Amino acid sequence: MPITTEVSTAVHNWSSSLAALPPLLRGEPSDTTLDELRTAYDEMLAAHPTPEGVTIEEVDMGGIPGIVVTPETVEDNRALFYIHGGAYIVGSPAGYHGLAGNFAVRLNARVFLPHYRLAPEHPFPTPINDTVDAYRWLLEQGQDPKRLMVAGDSAGGAMTVTVMIKARNLGLPLPAAGVALSPWANLEHTGASMTNREGLDPLNSKAVLDLLARSFLGGALPNDPDASPVFADVRGLPPILVTIGENELMLSDAVRLAGHLAENRVRVSLDVWPEMFHVWHMHQDRLPEGRKALDDAARFLLEALPAR
């Protein structure tokens, strides 16, 4: 269905909330600090409503702060490990109560969100290492990996794949399945959509994404497999759903990620939504496509869980 004026305004506000970020990263004079921008960004995301009946508690995830979102009913000790987005530079669990709560209700599962450290103060690979440490902590608490799922959006969508790879390499148990929402999967930004979706994507531009990538990488190469999972050894990973909006600059590289997984014998589903924008799932409260995409993601995760 057409994007409503209400949704268009919300997306514009989302984009505007980050207008001061590029000058800050370039070291230009600014009326705001990076910490102030991050706080305002979290407050903007936190306006998305949290479902009734869920509780939210702070948790120490092995030295990594985080939150756990718990629905009224938790079945079979199910858990979702959710990795927030924000280009590794902004974002925190504080802005994700709504999205995490909607996953918790759909999955009847506790949702754990780590608050990994952010670039540029803590550049690559610190955000990834923090997230792997939090994943390890969850397993050490006795979480059954057969009842564990992983999901994330944007940078967190890429980390959904990367954390599984790191876990595999460390000999840690892998989850039952993963979902990558609008993944930022290739920091080289070589996909065709980086050019032919310029102007259609209301949240991103290639120039800004290039700046964000440089700020995160801190001198590392953009084709480092831990930064860009399209270059990683993905063999042996569990089923993964890649879901992406057709208007996104990241479209081609998300399709490339799905193909890379398939070519390496990972069971993968690719779901491309016409006319949708970056992480439209956030707007599920006013966008039917957001609700349906979350329903589909939850169904994919639940179908991967072994029967009791």
- What does DSSP say about strands 240-245 and 268-273: parallel, antiparallel, or unpaired? parallel
Catalytic residue among 48, 92, 182, 248: 248
Q: Is 289 a catalytic residue?
A: no
- What does DSSP say about strands 177-181 and 148-153: parallel, antiparallel, or unpaired? parallel
In this structure, how many other beta carbons lie within 10 angstroms of the beta carbon of residue 236?
A: 12
Q: 12: alpha, beta or left, given left = phi > 0 and alpha = psi -120 to 50?
A: alpha
Are the C-beta atoms of residues 158 and 244 closer than 8 Å to each other? Answer: no
Strand, coil or helix: 97: helix
Q: Is 228 a catalytic residue?
A: no
Q: Is 8 a catalytic residue?
A: no
What residues pair up with 59 in beta bridges, in sequence order? 66
- Element of type H or E holding 41: helix 34-45
Catalytic residue among 278, 281, 283, 289: 278
Catalytic residue among 84, 92, 115, 154: 154
What residues pair up with 243 in beta bridges, in sequence order? 181, 271
What gap in Å lies between CA 256 and CA 268, rounded to an integer?
Answer: 12
Sheet containing strand 55-61, strands side by side = 55-61, 64-70, 110-114, 79-83, 148-153, 177-181, 240-245, 268-273
> E strands within the chain?
55-61, 64-70, 79-83, 110-114, 148-153, 177-181, 240-245, 268-273
What residues pair up with 287 in beta bridges, in sequence order? none
Helices and strands counted in the chain (H then E): 10, 8
Are the C-beta atoms of residues 284 and 291 closer than 8 Å to each other? Answer: yes
Are the C-beta atoms of residues 3 and 275 closer than 8 Å to each other? Answer: yes
What backbone phi and psi angles, to 5 degrees, belong to 65? Answer: -65, 155
Catalogue the active-site residues. 154, 248, 278
